[in-house]
């Protein structure tokens, strides 16, 4: 139940309604985006430090990155990849945590070997889900880089 509460807390990260792309051409310093840690997830911001505009957020179930980088196909591909990987990693980590938590009950009902197997399987799911989460963060960073690189070419 704690995992569900934690997942819902992260899902409640606020979405910010800001324009996806600037209306008028602007400098790299004004238009470049970056990811900054927020209270519940991370914020996608644009502009110089101290005068940034929050464009959206990236939480467990929330991502505005695809919409923000939609004008740059290379960045869009990485943003889509990030979204897919993050969703899969969440399912695997939560499933692994639930299976690992249930291992004690399984060992009581079905024997120690079954409980050990459930623990190991749950731990394996958590490890694999964590590796997908790292890949999702890498794709997110690449989406931001591709988007910002396109600004420098204009």
**Domain limits for position 46:** 2-153
Say how many domains are in the chain: 1
- In this predicted model, which residue has the larger pLDDT, 9 or 46? 46
Average predicted confidence (pLDDT) for the chain: 80
- In this predicted model, which residue has the larger pLDDT, 41 or 141? 141
pLDDT above 90 coverage of the chain, percent: 34
Task: Give the alpha-carbon dihedral of 3, 42, 80, 137, to 10 degrees.
Answer: -80
Contacts 24+ apart (CB under 8 A), 117-126: 121/96, 122/95, 122/96, 122/97, 122/98, 123/96, 124/96, 125/92, 125/93, 125/95, 125/96, 125/99, 126/92, 126/93, 126/96, 126/97, 126/100
Question: How high is the pLDDT of residue 62?
Answer: 58
Banded pLDDT at 25 (limits 50, 70, 90): low
Question: How high is the pLDDT of residue 57?
Answer: 78
- In contact, 76 and 36? CB cutoff 8 Å: no
CA distance 61 to 120: 27
CA distance 120 to 126: 10
Residue keyed to tokens 């694999």: 128
Range name among 2-6, 21-25, 46-50, 113-117 with the lowest pLDDT average: 2-6
- In contact, 135 and 60? CB cutoff 8 Å: no
């Amino acid at each position: 139940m704690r995992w569900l509460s934690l997942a819902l807390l992260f899902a409640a990260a606020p979405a910010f309604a800001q324009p996806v792309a600037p209306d008028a051409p602007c400098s790299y310093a004004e238009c470049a985006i970056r990811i900054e840690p927020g209270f519940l997830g991370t914020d996608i911001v644009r502009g110089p430090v101290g005068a940034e505009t929050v464009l959206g957020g990236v939480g467990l179930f929330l991502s505005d990155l695809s919409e923000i980088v939609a004008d740059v196909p290379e960045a869009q591909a990485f943003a889509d990849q990030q979204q897919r990987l993050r969703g899969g990693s969440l399912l695997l980590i939560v499933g692994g945590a639930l299976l690992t938590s249930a291992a004690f009950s399984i060992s009581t009902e079905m024997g120690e070997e079954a409980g050990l197997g459930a623990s190991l399987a749950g731990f394996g799911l958590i490890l694999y889900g964590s590796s997908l989460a790292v890949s999702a963060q890498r794709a997110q960073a690449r989406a931001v880089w591709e988007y910002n690189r396109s600004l420098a070419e204009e």
